[in-house]
């Protein structure tokens, strides 16, 4: 079986490949697609087949997908372009006769999450594609807060407008394991899987965890969305980026990332990585 991983040079893609190899997959049956030539060369050094893949260049997709039986479409990172780019990947998978696994967002078809519309559009394209597919609706990556955690350990403060909203995050490794399991099984064909961490947390819990690990008391400075935007702009962010970051925090405050039903841990056969463990590993404690 030939498995194509798009976005293979990114953080998640590389970890999916690691998980496939850990499960005994022959590296020569994996095609790693991406744009980072140095990262592709490193993967090739492990015996993995590589291909330059650009979501905006359909010819690269057609070439990479020759002989593919399964494709992992890791969602692109160019907001505003993703649904068009994803359509190109779906079209190429259909030409190759491959099944497809797609990394989406929590409750993408119904959520008011600022990131949801392009994922909803992609899921709609999959529904009408005629492909056999599985949707992995990944919640937040705990790694999204690496800078926040490090800064909190140093400064003793976290600025946020999330209120009491919880985040059912898990690590990229957790999600990568799930993707590998799904790619190697036909059990999940046709399913839309809501994936998240076992223990949703809020920023008070994050602060307490960093305090415990770092030995430095951390306080949470909760502000309004407007105050948050102003503060982010004061830190040097442009208007669009500041507004986007604050909008995500507002979504969290609304509870849009709070739910987890244990599906992720059931798929990977173990509990998801606890926040305490992740913070300890990150800070070297």
d(CA 38, CA 112): 38
- Sorted by sequence, the CB contacts under 8 Å of residue 17 that are 6+ apart come out as 5, 8, 30, 32, 43, 48
Distance of CA 234 to the CA centre of its chain: 28
- One DSSP character per residue, 130-183 reads ---EEEEEE--BGGGGHHHHHHHHHHSEEEE--TT--B--B-HHHHHHHHHHHH
- Enter the DSSP assignment of 274: P
Give residue for tokens 């030939």. Answer: 2
| Residues 236-245, mean pLDDT to the nearest whole number | 94
pTM listed for this prediction: 0.96
Q: Check whether 164 has a pLDDT greater than 80.
A: yes
- Enter the DSSP assignment of 270: S
d(CA 114, CA 162): 14
CA separation (Å) from 127 to 100, 110, 122, 210, 282? 12, 15, 9, 43, 39
Report domain 145-166+198-258+273-283's class.
alpha beta
d(CA 265, CA 274): 12
Identify the CATH number of the domain defined by range 3-138. Answer: 3.40.50.720
Residue 268 banded pLDDT, cuts 50, 70, 90: very high
Q: What angle do CA 186, 10, 122 make, to 5 degrees?
A: 55
User: What's the pLDDT at 285?
Assistant: 66
**Tens digits of per-residue pLDDT, 5-47?**
999 999 999 999 999 999 999 999 999 999 999 999 999 999 9
| Residues 191-208, mean pLDDT to the nearest whole number | 98
Closest residue by Cα to residue 180 from 55, 8, 17, 12: 17
User: What's the pLDDT at 1?
Assistant: 83
Query: At 70, which helix (H) or strand (E)?
Result: strand 70-73
Neighbours of 47 (CB within 10 A): 11
Domain range annotation of the chain: 3-138, 145-166+198-258+273-283
**Tens digits of per-residue pLDDT, 168-187?**
999 999 999 999 999 999 99
CA separation (Å) from 244 to 105, 114, 191, 226, 235? 16, 8, 30, 12, 15
Q: What angle do CA 191, 192, 198 make, to 5 degrees?
A: 115
Q: Please state the φ and ψ torsions of residue 59, each to the nearest 5 degrees.
A: -65, -35
- Sorted by sequence, the CB contacts under 8 Å of residue 276 that are 6+ apart come out as 209, 212, 213
Query: At 277, which helix (H) or strand (E)?
Result: helix 275-283
Sign for the pseudo-dihedral over CA of 28, 122, 171, 210: positive
| Residues 152-168, mean pLDDT to the nearest whole number | 97
d(CA 72, CA 163): 35
Residue 201 near residue 140 (C-beta atoms within 8 A): no
């Amino acid at each position: 079986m030939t498995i194509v991983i798009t976005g293979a040079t990114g953080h998640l893609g590389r970890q999916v490949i690691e998980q496939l190899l850990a499960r005994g997959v022959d590296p020569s049956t994996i095609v790693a697609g991406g744009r980072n030539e140095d990262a592709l060369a490193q993967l090739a050094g492990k015996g993995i087949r590589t291909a330059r893949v650009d979501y905006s260049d359909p010819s690269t997709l057609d070439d990479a997908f020759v002989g593919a039986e399964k494709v992992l479409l890791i969602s692109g990172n160019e907001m505003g372009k993703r649904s068009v780019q994803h359509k190109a990947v779906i079209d190429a998978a259909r030409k190759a006769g491959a099944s497809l696994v797609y990394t989406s967002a929590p409750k993408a078809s119904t959520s008011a999450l600022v990131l949801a519309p392009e994922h909803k559009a992609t899921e709609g394209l999959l529904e009408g594609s005629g492909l056999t597919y599985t949707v992995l609706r990944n919640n937040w990556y705990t790694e999204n807060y690496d800078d926040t955690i490090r800064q909190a350990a140093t400064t003793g403060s976290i600025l946020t407008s999330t209120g009491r909203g919880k985040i059912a995050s898990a690590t990229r490794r957790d999600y990568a394991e799930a993707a590998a399991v799904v790619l190697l099984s036909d059990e999940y064909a046709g399913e839309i899987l809501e994936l998240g961490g076992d223990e949703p947390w809020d920023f008070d819990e994050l602060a307490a965890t960093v305090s415990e690990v770092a030995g430095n008391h951390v306080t949470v400075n909760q502000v309004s969305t407007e105050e948050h935007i102003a503060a982010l702009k004061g830190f040097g962010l442009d208007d669009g980026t500041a507004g986007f970051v604050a909008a995500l925090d507002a979504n969290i405050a609304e509870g849009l990332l709070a739910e987890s039903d244990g599906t992720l841990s059931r798929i990977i056969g173990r509990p998801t990585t606890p926040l305490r463990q992740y913070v300890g590993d990150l800070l070297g404690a």
